[in-house]
């Protein structure tokens, strides 16, 4: 089996820029030049270290920047560096590296990045199966693993059935109007497996009454009173908080104390000194992710202090019924385990369902 490994070296830097993605390449590289350690390399190390127990022959082809990580984790499987990723690389370099993977006739391409990286890889290698290791800020597309720890089983059981599916990304124009709507980008060849997430979908305006009923529940139970609460991203909360007459950022994490907005759109530097009683999240439609998609500003250390008992989950009935399970990907395997179990999901006025978190 031949596998291509590639990463977007600035994936996830948008978390530290206060942006909802890493579309501003120049700004991202400036942040790294100021001393930021690129977060993607920790994810690569975590992912590849587990492959030491792989029990099948695989030839890896990779880029020079990943080679450094392979050496640091004493990667023992055979690999060939076939592309020298330059400093301050761009999406064009991703495309050039993938073109070499195509020439090498790889069976699978594994990439570390987000939705933009997924589109670059897929349009260059439309007929080769691709798998994403979630490393970006927002991840709407199908084809990403629920957690990097799933890769070992995927490779162990390869080949898998594949399907053609359109990848998605955030529609920036509609986001500016206060709506989170995925837009289709390019068709990709994706493996089919329960460990690989589906693409995000949006739900219609028919949920307006649900948002209002959940807001009534929050008011009647005084859920915001006498507490310090982090409220996660998403259109579900955006709509609910409209009915609460409270400001809410669409793709940001906001901090409320006793029912008042204290800090809007937090970046990672502002979490450490906060008193946090609860974290409110909503699952991503069709994917089911609670933590690790769109809220990576919250570090595993902060999440460890919060714990499962202080997690509140909100959803609409339509979104909830499409989700058999919910998922956590904190970037820390030990912290992930703290959130495994069952949670009540509030889906209306004194209506809730029980969902399993994996």
Quick one: average pLDDT of 193-212? Answer: 75
Residue scoring higher pLDDT (205 or 198): 198
Quick one: average pLDDT of 45-62? Answer: 89
Residue scoring higher pLDDT (269 or 109): 109
Q: How far apart are CA 303 and CA 292, in angstroms?
A: 11
Q: How far apart are CA 52 and CA 67, in angstroms?
A: 16
Confidence of residue 19 (pLDDT cuts 50, 70, 90): low
Question: How far are the Cα atoms of 228, 258, 312, 337 from residue 277, in angstroms, in the given order?
Answer: 5, 11, 11, 20
Q: How far apart are CA 169 and CA 185, in angstroms?
A: 7
Q: How many residues does the chain have?
A: 358
Q: Identify the pLDDT of residue 182.
A: 67
Q: Identify the pLDDT of residue 200.
A: 67
Quick one: average pLDDT of 49-62? Answer: 89
Q: How far apart are CA 197 and CA 118, in angstroms?
A: 13
- Region for residue 288 given its phi and psi (left: phi exceeds 0; alpha: psi -120 to 50; beta: otherwise): left
285-297: pLDDT as tens digits: 888 999 988 888 8
Q: Is the dihedral of CA 195, 159, 182, 172 positive or negative?
A: positive
Q: Which of 85-94, 127-136, 227-236 has the least mean pLDDT? A: 85-94
Q: Which of 9-18, 51-60, 311-320 has the least mean pLDDT? A: 9-18
Q: Which of 82-86, 110-114, 227-231, 252-256 has the least mean pLDDT? A: 82-86
CA trace torsion 263, 267, 272, 278 (10° rounding)? 60
Q: How far apart are CA 181 and CA 175, in angstroms?
A: 7
Q: Identify the pLDDT of residue 283.
A: 93
Residue scoring higher pLDDT (56 or 207): 56
> In the beta sheet, which residues pair with residue 261?
256
Q: Identify the pLDDT of residue 147.
A: 87
Tokens representing 286 are 């069709």
Given the structure tokens 């069952």, which residue do they identify? Answer: 342
Q: Which of 17-26, 30-39, 67-76, 158-167 has the least mean pLDDT? A: 17-26
Q: How far apart are CA 211 and CA 282, in angstroms?
A: 12
DSSP-derived 3-state class of residue 172:
helix
Average confidence score pLDDT of the chain: 88
Residue 45 pLDDT > 50: yes
CATH of 2-191, one of 2.60.40, 3.40.50, 1.10.260, 2.40.50: 3.40.50
Quick one: average pLDDT of 8-37? Answer: 76
Q: How far apart are CA 259 and CA 262, in angstroms?
A: 9
DSSP-derived 3-state class of residue 17:
coil
* Spatial contact of 256 and 228, defined as CB atoms under 8 Å apart: yes
Q: Identify the pLDDT of residue 205.
A: 47
Residue 20 pLDDT > 70: no
Phi, psi angle pair for 270, to nearest 5°: -100, 0
Residue % of the chain over a pLDDT of 70: 92
In the 8-state DSSP scheme, what is residue 260? E
Residue % of the chain over a pLDDT of 90: 51
DSSP-derived 3-state class of residue 45:
helix
Residue 64 pLDDT > 60: yes
Q: Give domain limits for the chain.
A: 2-191, 205-357
67-105: pLDDT as tens digits: 878 877 778 788 899 999 888 888 999 999 999 999 999
Residue 204 pLDDT > 80: no
Question: How far are the Cα atoms of 102, 166, 171, 220 from residue 216, in angstroms, in the given order?
Answer: 55, 38, 31, 6
* Spatial contact of 6 and 94, defined as CB atoms under 8 Å apart: yes
Q: How far apart are CA 178 and CA 164, in angstroms?
A: 31
Quick one: average pLDDT of 127-138? Answer: 90
117-129: pLDDT as tens digits: 999 999 999 999 9
Could you tell me which of 2, 11, 51 has the C-alpha nearest to residue 31?
A: 11
Could you tell me which of 222, 234, 220 has the C-alpha nearest to residue 319?
A: 234
Residue scoring higher pLDDT (138 or 168): 168
Quick one: average pLDDT of 336-341? Answer: 92
Q: Identify the pLDDT of residue 181.
A: 62
Q: Identify the pLDDT of residue 174.
A: 56
Q: How far apart are CA 121 and CA 115, in angstroms?
A: 10
Could you tell me which of 47, 52, 45, 40 has the C-alpha nearest to residue 15?
A: 40
Quick one: average pLDDT of 182-191? Answer: 88
Residue 186 pLDDT > 50: yes
């Amino acid at each position: 089996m031949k596998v291509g490994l590639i990463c977007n070296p600035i994936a996830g830097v948008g978390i530290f820029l206060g942006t909802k993605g890493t579309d501003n390449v120049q700004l991202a590289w400036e942040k790294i030049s100021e001393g930021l350690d690129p977060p993607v390399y920790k994810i690569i190390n975590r992912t590849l270290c587990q492959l030491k127990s792989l029990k099948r022959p695989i030839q890896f082809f990779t880029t020079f920047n990943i080679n450094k990580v392979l050496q640091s984790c004493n990667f023992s499987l055979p690999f060939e560096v076939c592309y020298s990723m330059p400093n301050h690389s761009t999406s064009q370099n991703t495309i050039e590296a993938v073109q070499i993977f195509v020439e090498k006739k790889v069976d699978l391409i594994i990439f570390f990045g987000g939705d933009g990286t997924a589109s670059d890889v897929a349009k260059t290698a439309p007929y080769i199966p691709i798998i994403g290791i979630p490393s970006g800020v927002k991840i709407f597309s199908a084809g990403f693993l629920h957690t990097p720890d799933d890769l070992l089983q995927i490779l162990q059981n390869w080949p898998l059935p594949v399907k053609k599916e359109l990848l998605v990304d955030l529609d920036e124009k509609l986001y500016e109007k206060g709506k989170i709507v995925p837009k289709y980008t390019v068709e990709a060849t994706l493996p089919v497996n329960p460990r690989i997430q589906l693409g995000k979908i949006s739900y219609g305006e028919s949920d307006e009454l649900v948002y209002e009923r959940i807001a009534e529940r929050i008011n009647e139970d005084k859920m915001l009173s006498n507490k310090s609460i982090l409220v996660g991203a998403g259109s579900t909360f955006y709509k609910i908080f409209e009915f609460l007459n409270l400001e809410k950022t669409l793709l940001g994490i906001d901090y409320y104390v006793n029912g008042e907005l204290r800090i809007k759109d937090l970046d990672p530097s502002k979490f450490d000194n906060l008193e946090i009683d609860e974290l409110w999240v909503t699952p991503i439609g069709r994917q089911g992710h609670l933590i690790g998609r769109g809220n990576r500003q919250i570090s595993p250390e902060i999440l460890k202090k919060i714990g499962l008992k202080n997690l509140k989950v909100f959803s609409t009935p339509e979104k909830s019924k499409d989700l058999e399970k919910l998922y956590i990907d904190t970037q820390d395997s030990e912290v992930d385990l703290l959130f495994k179990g069952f949670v009540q999901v509030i889906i209306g006025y004194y209506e809730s369902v029980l969902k399993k978190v994996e």
